[in-house]
Structure 1
Amino acid sequence: MTVKTLERIDLVDFLYREAHLLDEWKLKEWAALFTDDGTYKVPPLGEPDADAKQSLFYIHDDRKRIQDRAERLLKKEAHVEYPHSTTVRNYHNIMIDDLDSDVIKVNCNFTLHRTKREVVDTFIGRHTYDIVQQDGELRIKNKKSVLKLDSLRPHGKISLIL
Structure 2
Amino acid sequence: MVDVELQPRPTAVELMTMSYEIEQFLFREADLLDSWRLPEWLELFAPTGEYLIPATDRPDGDPANDLFLVQDDRFLLEQRINSLMRRSAHAEYPHSRTRRFVSNVKVTPILEGRLLLRANFAVFRMRAGNVDTYVGHYDHVVERDDDHGFRFVVRRSTLDLDALRPHGKVSIIL
TM normalised by structure 1 equals: 0.91
- Tell me the equivalent position of 2:158: 146
Name stretches of at least 5 consecutive residues in structure 2 with no aligned partner: 1-13
1:95 paired to 2:87: no
1:70 to 70, 78, 81: 81
1:52 to 63, 71, 86: 63
Secondary structure at 1:114's aligned position in 2?
strand
1:40 paired to 2:55: no
Cα deviation for residue 55 of structure 1 reads 2.3
Residues 11, 79 of structure 1: alpha-carbon distance in 2 compared, 3 angstrom cutoff: same
- Tell me the equivalent position of 2:172: 160
1:134 paired to 2:142: no
Residue 85 of structure 2 aligns with an amino acid whose one-letter code is: L
CA distance in 1, matches of 2:72, 2:157: 12
Cα deviation for residue 71 of structure 1 reads 1.3
Residue 86 of structure 1 aligns with an amino acid whose one-letter code is: R
Contact 2:120 2:136 in 1 (8 A): yes
The CA RMSD over aligned residues, in Å, is 1.8
- Tell me the equivalent position of 2:90: 79
Cα deviation for residue 46 of structure 1 reads 3.1
- Tell me the equivalent position of 2:135: 124
Residue 145 of structure 1 aligns with an amino acid whose one-letter code is: S
Residue 141 of structure 1 aligns with an amino acid whose one-letter code is: V
CA distance in 2, matches of 1:34, 1:145: 15
CA distance in 1, matches of 2:110, 2:67: 33
Residue 87 of structure 1 aligns with an amino acid whose one-letter code is: T
Identity of aligned residues (%): 37
Residues 8, 51 of structure 1: alpha-carbon distance in 2 compared, 3 angstrom cutoff: closer
Residue 27 of structure 2 aligns with an amino acid whose one-letter code is: Y
Contact 1:107 1:129 in 2 (8 A): yes
CA distance in 1, matches of 2:90, 2:145: 36
Partner deviation per Cα, 1:58-84 (whole Å, 9 max, x = no partner): 000001111111111010000000000
Residue 134 of structure 1 aligns with an amino acid whose one-letter code is: D
Cα deviation for residue 16 of structure 1 reads 0.3
Q: How many residues align?
A: 158
Secondary structure at 1:68's aligned position in 2?
helix
